A and B are shown apart, each in its own frame.
Chain A
Amino acid sequence: NAGVMQNPRHLVRRRGQEARLRCSPMKGHSHVYWYRQLPEEGLKFMVYLQKENIIDESGMPKERFSAEFPKEGPSILRIQQVVRGDSAAYFCASSPLQDTDTQYFGPGTRLTVL
């Protein structure tokens, strides 16, 4: 049973470009969460999604950031017009419907903005 998969593992963008980060949850998991880890910091919650629904986006910056989890395919975290301050590791986690209290994390995408 494959774990949570994220791609790409490393992403380099220039200021002003768009970044798309993908997350495939564990098989049978219907809940996806995105977190951001800045250097020397713990993870900060960004958004919680179920298929085709955003449940909690209280941690998402108000501008340039969006997330989706379509009926088919992976969850996407999209960052428009990236700035240097967006450089961080972005982690996705998933949980099954019957155990939403426990989250299983992917390996992360390390975004570098030049």
Chain B
Amino acid sequence: AQSVTQLDSQVPVFEEAPVELRCNYSSSVSVYLFWYVQYPNQGLQLLLKYLSGSTLVKGINGFEAEFNKSQTSFHLRKPSVHISDTAEYFCAVSDRGSQGNLIFGKGTKLSVKP
């Protein structure tokens, strides 16, 4: 069975500092990987996705993530965060060709302080 582990439940950082949100997954098959962001009392917005090709994926709002198959990781990074990046970030995985059933991690709350 697939699972997703987000190692940090909360990450506090200062504005303009770099940030990395960690995500590890376990699966016996090839997977697609996603990062979503959830602002307070809102739905999830897709930040970026890895389906195939280059292992470095660039998304919206200056975020990027790198797929590392050997370490089964898909960590999210941003070189310089803004106050507006304060939100909860979810990593998710799905089987290639499964057509549905995203498996989500428990989320990481990013808190950006001035």
Q: How large is the interface on A (under 10, 10 to 19, 20 to 34, 35 or more residues)?
A: 20 to 34
CA distance A6 to B42 in the complex (A): 11
CA distance A31 to B102 in the complex (A): 14
Chain B residues near A102 (CB-CB < 8 A): 34, 46, 49
A101 within 8 A of partner (CB): yes
A-B contact count (CB 8 A): 64
Chain A residues near B101 (CB-CB < 8 A): 33, 45, 48, 56, 58-59
> If the complex has contacts A104-B46, A107-B43, are A42 and B100 also in contact, measured as CB distance less than 8 A?
no
Residue from A35, A40, A42, A56 with most neighbouring chain B CB atoms (10 Å): A42
Tell whether, in the assembled complex, residue A42 and residue B105 are in contact, meaning their CB atoms are under 8 Å apart.
yes
B99 within 8 A of partner (CB): yes
> If the complex has contacts A42-B105, A43-B104, A44-B104, are A31 and B46 also in contact, measured as CB distance less than 8 A?
no
Chain A residues near B94 (CB-CB < 8 A): 101
Q: How many residues of B contact A (CB 8 A)?
A: 23
CA distance A43 to B34 in the complex (A): 13
Tell whether, in the assembled complex, residue B99 and residue A43 are in contact, meaning their CB atoms are under 8 Å apart.
no
Chain A interface residues (CB < 8 Å from chain B): 4, 6, 31, 33, 35, 40-45, 48, 55-56, 58-59, 91, 93, 100-108
Tell whether, in the assembled complex, residue A100 and residue B43 are in contact, meaning their CB atoms are under 8 Å apart.
no
Chain A residues near B104 (CB-CB < 8 A): 35, 42-44
CA distance A55 to B99 in the complex (A): 9
Chain A residues near B51 (CB-CB < 8 A): 101
